[in-house]
Amino acid sequence: MADIEFLEKVLHLLQVNKCKKERIDSETPLDQLEMDSIQMASLVIGLEDELGIMVTDEAYKKWIKVGDIVEYVEYYLEEYGDGELREM
């Protein structure tokens, strides 16, 4: 999958989790999304379920903007794309 596909998946999950910001792109800071901790946890679970990845607390805490999520997904699948869940 190209990174545009990952971005589309992340944006879809943000919409599903009731993100209040209308216009979102890869440069959008996560703190501007007005999502509470439950919505963010739901986003992480959605990423794990839909993409077969594992998101550690350390990885999650490093995300500053939407593009950081996309980069994490790309890197994870590049490193561990064999379908086994592993901590990064």
pLDDT along the chain (88 residues), means of 10: 74 77 85 88 91 90 94 89 59
Longest dimension (CA), the chain: 35
Are the beta carbons of 86 and 47 closer than 8 angstroms? no
Q: Phi then psi for 65, rounded to 5 degrees?
A: -135, 170
- Strands (DSSP E) found in 1-86: none
